[in-house]
Amino acid sequence: VASRQVLVLPGDGIGPEIVAQAERVLARVNDKFALGINIEKGLVGGAAIDAHGSPLPEITLEKAKACDAVLLGAVGGPKWDSVDMSIRPEKGLLGLRSNLNLFGNLRPAILYPQLADASSLKPELVAGLDLLIVRELTGGIYFGQPRGIRELENGEREGFNTYKYSESEVRRIGRQAFEAAQKRGGKLCSVDKANVLEATVLWREVMDELAKDYPDVELTHMYVDNAAMQLVRAPKQFDVMVTGNMFGDILSDCAAMLTGSIGMLPSASLDENGKGMYEPIHGSAPDIAGQGIANPLATILSVAMMLRYSFDEADAAQAIEDAVGVTLDQGFRTADIQSEGMNLVSTEQMGDAVLAAL
Ligand X SMILES: CC(C)[C@H](C(=O)O)[C@@H](O)C(=O)O
| Binding positions for ligand X, 82-101, rule CB under 6 A | 90, 93-94
Binding partner of residue 120 among a copy of itself, ligand X, none, CB cut-off 5 to 8 Å per kind: a copy of itself
266 binds a copy of itself (CB under 8 A): no
Annotate 120-148 with b (16+ C-beta within 10 A) or e (fewer).
ebeeeebeebebbbbbbbbbbbbbbeeee
Q: In the annotation, is 309 catalytic?
A: no
> How many residues would you count in the chain?
358
Annotate 81-94 with b (16+ C-beta within 10 A) or e (fewer).
eeeeeebbbebbbb
Q: Residue 2 is which amino acid?
A: A
- Residue nearer to a copy of itself on the CB measure, 98 or 182: 98
Site string for a copy of itself, 69-88 (x = CB under 8 A): -------x--------x--x
DSSP 306-318: HHHHTS--HHHHH
331 annotated as a binding-site residue: no
Cβ partners under 8 Å of residue 265, min gap 6: 107, 108, 109, 110, 256, 259, 280, 281, 282, 298, 301
Cβ partners under 8 Å of residue 291, min gap 6: none
Binding partner of residue 183 among ligand X, a copy of itself, none, CB cut-off 5 to 8 Å per kind: none
Q: Using CB under 8 A, pick the residue from 50, 225, 312, 329 that binds a copy of itself.
A: 225
Q: In the annotation, is 249 catalytic?
A: yes
12 binds ligand X (CB under 6 A): no
225 binds ligand X (CB under 6 A): yes
From the list 10, 7, 96, the residue with the least C-alpha distance to 47 is 10
315 binds ligand X (CB under 6 A): no
**Residues of this chain that bind a copy of itself (CB under 8 A):** 76, 85, 88, 90, 94, 120-122, 125, 141-142, 144, 147-149, 152, 156-168, 193, 195-203, 224-226, 228-229, 231-234, 246-247, 249-254, 256-258, 260, 262
